[in-house]
Amino acid sequence: MAESRASAAARPRRVSARRRGPVLERAILDAVLDQLGTVGWSGLTMEGVAAGAGTGKAAVYRRWSSKEELVVDALRTGLPELDDAPDHGDVREDLYRLCLRVRESMYSRPGFALRSLLHECDSATAVRFQQLLLTVLIEPLTRLFRDVVRRAVARGEVRAEALHEMVIDVIPAMLMYRSKVCGSEWDASDIADLIDRVMVPLLRPRR
């Protein structure tokens, strides 16, 4: 019989030497990302994380008192940082390139773990991770999209009234809606359509 996903995720890794400090902590956080990507938030346990990291449960509990704290640290330290918005001198190109970078980040192992958490996120789970989602996802994306639009306004390419929080929220909201509610992925052509059919007309100066 094929081994279940849950038992495979919880199977201890072989270790060649006793690890301590940052090396052990990194192994534990990596095991969290693996478990989120396989068994999800509901199936993740401290015991399973310890087994996946090849350590004892006590080593995990000494550092994190709950799986909420563990997941927050794993995602906060693991997700790639999107530092600067693209600046090609064209709002369409900048938005498109930024969306591709966001997609690449969400397709990384930490990004996949975050997506697994979002897919399971009911109202109670959302409250637990509200601050995390704000700091690692919503606020960085909002800042980057705002930077792109602000530069376009300065170039006279975009009307000044478009620099509004509801306009800035359109792309992150669409990305989240398609991913969480519809369960569909965004390929490059979908992203191009979002920019060309929705954002560019929305940002374009009115005549």
pLDDT digits over 124-143, tens only?
A: 777 778 888 888 888 999 99
Phi, psi of 195 (to 5 degrees): -70, -50
pLDDT tier for residue 192 given thresholds of 50, 70 and 90: very high
Assigned token pair, 181: 């509610």
What single-letter DSSP state applies at residue 3? P
Cβ neighbour number for residue 191 with a 10 Å cutoff: 21
Tokens of 206: 């009115």
Asked whether the whole model's pTM tops 0.85, one would answer: no
**Per-residue pLDDT tens over the stretch 17-53:** 456 788 999 999 999 999 998 999 989 999 999 999 9
- Those residues with Cβ within 8 angstroms of residue 200's Cβ, 6 or more apart along the chain or in another chain: 91, 92
Question: Mean pLDDT lowest for which of 5-14, 37-46, 99-108, 165-174?
Answer: 5-14
Q: What is the DSSP letter of 164?
A: S
Show the domains of the chain with their CATH numbers. 5-77 (1.10.357.10), 80-203 (1.10.357.10)
